Amino acid sequence: MTFVYLTCYCSFAMLDCFDGYPFINPLLPLVSWKWYLTGLPIIGTIGYWILVVMINVGFGLLIQKYHQSLLLLLLLLFLFPVCFNIHKPVFPFPLDDIVYLQPSWNNLDLTPAQQFYQISRELDVIALRHHKVKIIVIPESGFSHNLWAWKDHLGAWICLDDVNLFIGAHRYDHDKKYNSLYHIKNGTIVSWYDKTHLVPCVERIPWLLRKVFTGLFTDGDEVFSYPHNDQDCGEMCGMQPVICSELFCDKKLPVDNRPILFICNDSWLSLDYAKQLAQRSAQLYGLRHNCAILYVGSYDMKLLQ
pLDDT at 302: 94
The Cα-based distances of 56 to 46, 61, 181 in angstroms read 16, 9, 43
Residue 49 pLDDT greater than 90, yes or no: no
What's the fold here for domain 95-304?
Answer: Nitrilase/N-carbamoyl-D-aminoacid amidohydrolase (3.60.110)
What global pTM score does this model have? Answer: 0.83
Q: Is the pLDDT of residue 143 over 80?
A: yes
CA distance linking residue 134 with residue 148, whole number of Å: 23
Spatial separation of the C-alpha atoms in residues 191 and 181, rounded to whole Å = 9
pLDDT bucket at 139, cuts 50 / 70 / 90: very high
Where do the domains of the chain lie? 39-83, 95-304
Half-sphere exposure of 9 (CA within 13 A, CB side): 5
Q: Evaluate if residue 90 carries a pLDDT over 50.
A: yes
Taking a C-beta distance cutoff of 8 angstroms, is the pair 40, 288 a contact?
yes
Identity of the highest mean pLDDT range in 27-31, 44-48, 263-267? 263-267
Cα–Cα dist 77/62, whole Å: 14
Strands (E), 60-160: 98-100, 135-146
Instruction: Please provide the size of the chain in residues.
Output: 305
DSSP-derived pairing of the beta strands 135-146 and 164-173: parallel
CA quadruple 239, 240, 243, 248: dihedral positive or negative? Answer: negative
Say if residue 118 is exposed, middle or buried (CB neighbours under 10 Å; 0-12, 13-18, 19+).
middle
Nearby residues of 130 by Cβ (< 8 Å), 6 or more positions away: 99
